[in-house]
Amino acid sequence: GGETGGPCPSGDSWIFRNSEQEWTRLPDCASPRTYSSMALLPEVNGQKRIVLYGGIEKNRQVIQAESPADTVVVLDPDSMTWTTRITTASGSFPAKRASAAMAPSSSGLYLFGGINTETNALQNDIWFLAGNSTSADQAAAGECVPIFTNFLLVHGLLMFFGWGVFLVWGTFIARYFSSSGTTWFLLHRIFQVSGLVLSFLGFVLGIVSVQFDHFKFAHGAIGIIVMLLGISQPFNALARPHRPSEGEKTPLKRRIWELFHHNIGRVAVALALINISLGVFLALAHMAVWALWFVYLIVVILVFVFFELLKIPVVHEKMAAILPMKTKEYPVSNEQKMENVAKADESQQGEK
């Protein structure tokens, strides 16, 4: 447990083997917490068991419920496994607390003081947990926390699907399929709206769950810039000048609008992909998550590069000769169409 640059509190546990001078991560079991107490139970036949008790389990990031007051978590350092054990009491159980002093004796563990996690009041009471390494194994077993879920994780997932999936591929559709009928526009709008809704929810969770000045860090600063750019796009679209009819010259307002709308969207998506990469590092994600994200990011970049190259007529023609591709008719702007019509008129007048 403890506080980290990623999930806070964290739920990971590690053991340091002095003989190998190496840290080894243990399987997860106890709920994430900070300021917990640990002590070694009396040994029986050289068998060791370590008790983890209390701590602060609840803050703005946490989703799962707190562990019951009658529960402790026991570590077997030989097998490097945790188990949850249910204790008994002659009367009431100790108030849930953090930063308590815990000390072993010949017949159990003493617990003193700490901070009440419900009232934040300082405690001055003393409790005794009777038992040893054998009785700990014989106590009723509880359930480990299988998955540690917090708002920071949900924030990351929403941002991935919002910016990393919907908004990326919505931009892709608009960039490379805008000359293919009208279906592209419907898909573009569905992808962009879905992506913005998901990313806005993720943005809110990111602000709510982080317990310090989020925007002093690059990830937070880039995040707010990306969201402002993203949120501006629907309003930008509402002010969209109508596309000119066939043969008409594109008005200056339309050209200015296209310049801003297209490039704001591209800059926002590029910054979002960079920021998701920063977020993966800040969250101290598992190596498999890092690998999956960066493989996906490379695929996205390669797809965009490939289709960007296909917009070059020479490249498209060469690729069409290799791959089973249809010959592409490149869209002609209204200005080019008008120029072609003018040239055709001049040619006809010259023949006369």
pLDDT in tens, 46-102: 899 999 998 888 776 777 667 888 889 999 988 889 999 999 988 889 999 999 999
Q: What are the residue ranges of CATH 1.20.120.1770 in the chain? A: 151-332
Q: What are the residue ranges of CATH 2.120.10.80 in the chain? A: 14-138
pLDDT, tens digit, for every residue of 181-236?
778 889 999 999 999 999 999 998 888 777 566 667 788 889 999 999 999 998 88
pLDDT score for 333: 47
pLDDT score for 213: 63
Crossing angle, helix 287-310 and helix 168-176, to 10 degrees?
Answer: 10
Work out the burial of residue 351: count CB atoms within 10 Å of its CB; fewer than 13 is exposed, 13-18 middle, 19 or more buried.
exposed
pLDDT score for 247: 66
So what's the architecture of 151-332 in CATH? Answer: Up-down Bundle (1.20)
pTM for this structure?
0.69
Which tokens hold the place of 66? 């707190």
Reply yes or no on whether the pLDDT at 341 is more than 70. Answer: no
CA-atom Rg of the chain in angstroms: 31
So what's the architecture of 14-138 in CATH? Answer: 6 Propeller (2.120)
pLDDT, tens digit, for every residue of 285-319?
778 888 999 999 999 999 999 988 888 877 667 66
CA angle 222, 223, 224 (to 5 degrees): 95
pLDDT score for 212: 60
pLDDT score for 16: 87
pLDDT, tens digit, for every residue of 84-98?
999 998 888 999 999
Which tokens hold the place of 157? 């997932």
